C-alpha cells in the first residue's frame, strides 16, 4: 500500500512524500514522488500515530474494573482520535478489582487485536498523598513500597510500564528505587513534596511529572515546590493536560516553552465518563457531575478527569496556545514513547518503523488512522 500527501511529518517538518507500507511497517519513503500512490490525501497532514499515556477509561468503564470486551471497545474508539497506542491508566480504587483488571489487561496484550494498541499499565494511584489527592478517593490511598510495586507487576503480568508516586510518602524512595531496578519510569505526582524532595527523587531515578500543575504544590518565590522542580530540571519529562480547563492556556504556553520539543508530553487524563451524556454518574463510589464539554467534577467542584481527545488537544495547543508545532507534535507522538523507552519502532515516520499513522483534516478532525499498515476508520 502506498499513500501520499503534500504534508507528511518527516524530520520535524512537513514534506511532500509517498509512504510505502508493507507487513505493518513503513518500508519506503519517497520524497521525489516517483511512486504512484494508492491513496492520495492531498494536503491533509500525515503524522505519526498519536500516543496517550495517561488515559483512564471511556463509555462508563475504566482500567480499574475492566473486561476484555470493554477494553476492545475502548481500543476501537481511540482510533477516532488518531490514537494508535496508549497506556491503560489505573487510579486509587478497590484493590481486588484493580488487580483483576490489571490481570485482564496483561492477558489482552498477549493476543492480536483490532484498534489502538495497549502499551501497558500506568498506575497513577494509589501511591499518592492525601493533601494533593485531587479527585481520587482517599479511602484507597496506600503507602508506596517495593511490595506494592511487586504486587502490581505480578498482577499485570510484567506489563506495568509507568508509575506515579508522591515522593514524600515513599520512605527512602523504596518504591522509586524498585521501579528503577525494574526499568519502569516513575512520575512524581499528586504530591505535596518540596522542591528539594523532588530533586532527591529525581536523583534516585524518577524521570517525569504527572499532569504538571494539577495535583501538586505550586510555584512560590520562597519555595519553588513541585511545579518549580518540574520546570527547572531540564531532563525531566512533564505531562500536560493542554485543554485550557485543567491548565490555563498561558500556563500551557509557559510550560511548552520551558520544556521544549523533547520533554513535553500531551495527555488527555480522560476518564470513564468520556463519551457519556452530561449528567451525574458514580466514579470510585462517589457522585461526579459531567458537563456538556465532558469535564467531570466532584460535589465540591474538584476536577476528577475529562473527556479530552488527543486530536483536539493538538489543535488547542497549536491554534490557541500558539505553541511551537514541533513541540506539540512531539509531545503527542514520540516524546511519550521516549519516556517509555519504546521509541525504536514507533513515534516517527521513518523507514523500518511501525506503520502507525494519523491523517488529519485542516480542522484537526481525523480523516484516517493507520495501525500496523491497516486502515481503522
**Cα–Cα distance measured from residue 214 to residue 230, given in angstroms and rounded to the nearest whole number:** 12
For 135-188, give the secondary structure using H, E and C: CCCHHHCCCCCHHHHHHHHHHCCCCEEEEEECHHHCHHHHHHHHHHHHCCCEEE
Q: Which helix (H) or strand (E) holds 252?
A: helix 249-263
Give the active site residue among 269, 291, 354, 363.
269
Query: Would you state the cell numbers that stand for residue 28, as one nine-digit string?
Result: 519506503
- Cβ-in-10-Å burial (0-12, 13-18, 19+) of 34 comes to exposed
Asked about 269 being catalytic, the answer comes back as yes
**Cα–Cα distance measured from residue 115 to residue 184, given in angstroms and rounded to the nearest whole number:** 25
**Cα–Cα distance measured from residue 293 to residue 336, given in angstroms and rounded to the nearest whole number:** 26
Query: What are the CA-CA distances from residue 48 to residues 247, 332, 373 (Å)?
Result: 26, 9, 12
Query: What are the CA-CA distances from residue 267 to residues 17, 73, 223 (Å)?
Result: 29, 20, 27
The SS3 call for residue 71 is helix
**Cα–Cα distance measured from residue 337 to residue 135, given in angstroms and rounded to the nearest whole number:** 27
Which residues belong to the active site? 269
Amino acid at each position: 500500500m502506498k499513500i501520499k500527501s503534500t504534508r507528511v511529518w518527516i524530520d520535524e517538518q512537513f514534506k511532500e512524500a509517498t509512504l510505502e507500507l508493507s507487513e505493518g511497517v513503513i518500508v519506503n519513503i519517497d520524497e521525489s514522488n516517483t511512486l504512484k500512490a494508492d491513496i492520495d490525501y492531498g494536503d491533509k497532514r500525515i503524522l505519526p500515530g498519536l500516543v496517550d499515556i495517561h488515559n483512564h477509561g471511556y463509555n462508563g468503564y475504566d482500567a480499574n474494573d475492566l473486561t476484555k470486551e470493554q477494553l476492545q471497545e475502548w481500543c476501537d474508539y481511540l482510533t477516532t482520535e488518531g490514537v494508535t497506542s496508549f497506556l491503560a491508566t489505573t487510579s486509587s480504587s478497590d484493590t481486588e478489582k484493580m488487580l483483576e483488571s490489571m490481570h485482564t489487561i496483561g492477558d489482552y496484550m498477549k493476543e492480536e487485536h483490532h484498534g489502538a494498541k495497549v502499551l501497558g499499565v500506568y498506575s497513577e494511584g494509589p501511591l499518592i498523598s492525601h493533601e494533593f489527592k485531587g479527585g481520587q478517593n482517599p479511602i484507597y490511598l496506600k503507602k508506596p513500597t517495593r511490595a506494592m510495586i511487586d504486587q502490581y507487576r505480578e498482577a499485570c503480568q510484567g506489563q506495568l510500564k509507568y508509575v506515579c508516586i508522591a515522593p514524600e510518602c515513599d520512605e527512602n524512595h523504596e518504591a522509586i528505587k524498585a521501579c528503577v531496578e525494574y526499568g519502569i519510569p516513575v512520575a512524581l505526582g499528586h504530591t505535596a513534596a518540596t522542591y528539594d524532595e523532588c530533586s532527591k527523587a529525581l536523583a534516585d531515578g524518577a524521570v517525569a511529572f504527572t499532569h504538571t500543575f494539577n495535583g501538586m504544590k505550586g510555584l512560590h518565590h520562597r519555595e519553588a515546590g513541585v511545579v518549580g522542580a518540574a520546570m527547572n530540571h531540564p531532563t525531566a519529562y512533564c505531562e500536560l493536560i493542554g485543554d485550557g480547563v485543567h491548565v490555563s492556556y498561558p500556563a500551557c504556553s509557559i510550560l511548552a516553552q520551558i520544556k521544549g520539543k523533547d520533554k513535553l508530553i500531551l495527555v488527555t487524563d480522560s476518564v470513564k465518563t468520556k463519551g457519556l451524556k452530561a449528567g451525574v454518574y458514580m466514579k470510585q463510589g462517589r457522585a461526579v457531575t459531567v458537563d456538556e464539554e465532558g469535564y467531570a467534577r466532584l460535589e465540591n467542584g474538584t476536577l476528577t478527569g475529562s473527556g479530552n481527545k488527543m486530536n483536539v488537544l493538538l489543535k488547542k495547543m497549536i491554534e490557541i496556545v500558539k505553541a511551537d508545532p514541533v513541540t506539540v507534535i512531539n509531545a503527542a507522538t514520540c516524546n511519550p514513547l521516549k519516556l517509555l523507552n519504546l521509541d525504536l519502532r514507533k513515534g516517527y515516520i521513518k523507514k523500518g518503523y511501525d506503520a502507525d499513522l494519523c491523517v488529519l483534516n485542516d480542522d484537526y478532525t481525523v480523516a484516517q488512522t493507520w495501525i500496523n499498515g491497516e486502515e481503522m476508520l
